[in-house]
Amino acid sequence: MTDDPRPSPDLLPEPVAPSLPGLVPGLDADGRPAPDAPLVAVTGVTGYVGGRLVPELLAAGYRVRALARNPERLRGRSWYADVEVAQADAGELEEIRAALRGVQIAYYLIHALGTGPTFEARDRRTALTFARAAREAGVERIVYLGGLYPEGEELSPHLASRTEVGEILLASGVPTTVLRAAVILGSGSASFEMMRYLTERLPAMTVPRWVENRIQPIAIRDVLRYLVGSAAMPPDVSRGFDIGGPDVLTYREMMQRYAKAAGLPRRVIVGVGVLTPRLSSLWVSLVTPVPSGLARPLVESLVHEVVCDEHDIAAHVPDPPGGLIGFDRAVRLALQRIQDADVTTRWSSAAVSGAPSDPLPGDPDWAGGSMYVDERRVEVDASPAALWRVIETIGGESGWYSWPLAWQLRGIADKLVGGPGLRRGRRPGRLLVDDAVDWWRVEEVEPGSLLRLRAEMRVPGLAWLELRVEPVEGDDHRTVFAQRALFHPHGLAGQLYWGAVYPFHGIVFGGMQRNIARAAETAERARTDRRPAGDAVRART
């Protein structure tokens, strides 16, 4: 007798709207927001929380306008066709004011976490611009998700900046709801992933003293419920609210309870007093997928005890009938999402600080510089569909089909200099524009024919990897696999870098092309022979 593979009912995904009766507009007879439903604008839609909030607002009956600097990054999202999309930079007054015109509620989900030493000034400037634009556009309410912080203490730079942004929005002249949360528990959140990897990979560890600080974590589902419910607050309410789950735990207790929920043995955790936040963040970045630029502000925030001082939010957004989600259930929910490959947004949705964001230029001589190209083509004895299935699984657990040790060493080196390294992983299944794939970012994907990746690793220049599937005319069982590595150097360092790595391209990129082609051919033969093709996809060096 085998265990029932289906998740228990309390772990099934469900929208938050049914637990907010009387607070949300609800859907019309066609199951869509009514034409006269309140219009809400959401910033940060490419991020972890914003990407999950949009479908919750739609399910609650709100019309949604998604704001993004580059709307192309939203293509492929399940909700893309159901929202208005507006191109706007929240730091540009004219753009954001135009994008907020006609909006009743504006969600401010922007912060510069992990974007470098000037993030506080960037946060301040963007918040001031957004506040002015919201006031001038006639927005009726701003909703902001900030950080929970202790009163009367010198705050970490990250928490201090989140607090300042909340104060700027409260002073905007627009009624504002500031929700203050500590650690957010959910599949794909940076805080959860940091805890998960530390606990899973280290059965024994030495840890800094902050693991004994008390924390009041909150499940992402409850965060989304508070965000949706806050849209209905009366005009005379303009203030901050502490939000947290029912459990108050130390970080040590959180790791031990995670281990139990994940079926792992109890961890050996020994506290030491010599690990500074900087050393802790470097250690975290080496053990987990979270890069040091993001790990450091997270670690610095854990130096504080963050426990709710009040639960006044319940007067406006009542607790759900079954109560708020506790730590153990939040972990089980997250693990179920990971097991089901249903992690809709991840912390890596945000771009890495210092990484290039410009798309591949059409003119290789752009900006007066050089574009180095390594181009390879090979004919594959497989259908275009078979080759594409292999290409679309690249990265993450599938690896890069060539010289694994070299990729791993390069990933470690990238982590040491503040890059994302290879542990960032990727979304299971179909790739979307702007998805993270290890140290790459999906810049363009044309299902069945093209995958273009932009490098976010630390290199002295801009780099892309392009994989194309080209059918052979008149032959459905043969395909051309075209592969290009492109590099635009920054100065002499970039040119020296290309010269140093080019001799290895035959091993790395040539081997990758051969092994992807071989995997596609093996999978095609297995399909033709009606044999399982699972082993074929793993055929690589």
Q: What confidence tens digit (pLDDT) does each residue in 400-421 have? A: 998 888 888 888 887 777 777 7
Is 334 in contact with 194 (CB distance < 8 Å)?
no
Amino acid at 330: A
Is 510 in contact with 536 (CB distance < 8 Å)?
no
Predicted confidence (pLDDT) per residue in 353-409, tens digit? 444 445 555 443 433 456 888 999 999 999 999 999 999 999 988 889 988 888 888
Supply the pLDDT for residue 380.
94
Amino acid at 251: Y
Supply the pLDDT for residue 339.
74
Average pLDDT of 294-307?
Answer: 77
Which is more confidently placed, 281 or 503? 503
Kind of pairing between the strands at 461-472 and 475-489: antiparallel
Supply the pLDDT for residue 108.
96
Instruction: Work out the angle between the directed axes of helices 292-302 and 157-170 (0-180°, nearest 10).
Output: 80
Kind of pairing between the strands at 141-147 and 176-181: parallel
Distance CA 68, CA 87 (A): 5
Taken in order 68, 71, 73, 75, the sign of the CA dihedral is: positive
Q: Matching CATH topology for 17-313+326-342 and 372-528?
A: no
Predicted confidence (pLDDT) per residue in 35-85, tens digit? 999 999 999 998 889 999 999 999 999 999 999 988 887 887 889 999 999
User: In the CATH scheme, what is the code of domain 372-528?
Assistant: 3.30.530.20
541's tokens: 């060096």
Q: Is the confidence at residue 458, as pLDDT, over 90? A: no
DSSP codes joined into one string, 122-184: HHHHHHHHHHHHHHHHT-SEEEEEEE---TTSPPPHHHHHHHHHHHHHHTSSS-EEEEEESSE
- Neighbouring C-beta atoms of residue 271, cutoff 10 Å: 14
What are residue 409's phi and psi, to 5 degrees?
-65, -40
- Mean pLDDT value across the chain: 84
Q: Which long-range contacts (CB under 8 A, 24 or more apart) does 120-126 make?
A: 120/157, 120/160, 120/161, 120/164, 122/91, 123/161, 123/162, 123/164, 123/165, 124/161, 124/164, 124/165, 124/168, 125/91, 126/90, 126/91
Amino acid at 305: E
Supply the pLDDT for residue 444.
87
Residue 360: CB partners within 8 Å, gap ≥ 6?
443, 444, 452, 454, 464, 466, 486
Predicted confidence (pLDDT) per residue in 9-26, tens digit? 555 567 899 999 989 999
Q: Where are the domains of the chain?
A: 17-313+326-342, 372-528
Which is more confidently placed, 515 or 420? 515
Is 191 in contact with 184 (CB distance < 8 Å)?
yes
Which is more confidently placed, 14 or 92? 92
Predicted confidence (pLDDT) per residue in 494-504, tens digit? 888 888 888 88
Confidence of residue 1 (pLDDT cuts 50, 70, 90): very low
Distance CA 530, CA 538 (A): 18
Assigned fold of 17-313+326-342: Rossmann fold (3.40.50)
Distance CA 530, CA 377 (A): 29
Confidence of residue 113 (pLDDT cuts 50, 70, 90): low
Distance between start and end Cα atoms, the chain: 38
Supply the pLDDT for residue 501.
87
Supply the pLDDT for residue 3.
45
Question: Nearest 5°: CA angle at 317, between 346 and 74?
Answer: 30
Supply the pLDDT for residue 227.
97
Which is more confidently placed, 535 or 22? 22
Supply the pLDDT for residue 130.
96
Predicted confidence (pLDDT) per residue in 304-356, tens digit? 788 999 999 999 999 998 899 999 999 998 888 877 666 677 655 555 444 44
84's tokens: 């208005």
What are residue 9's phi and psi, to 5 degrees?
-55, -35
What are residue 423's phi and psi, to 5 degrees?
-80, -5
Strand partners, 451: 445, 467
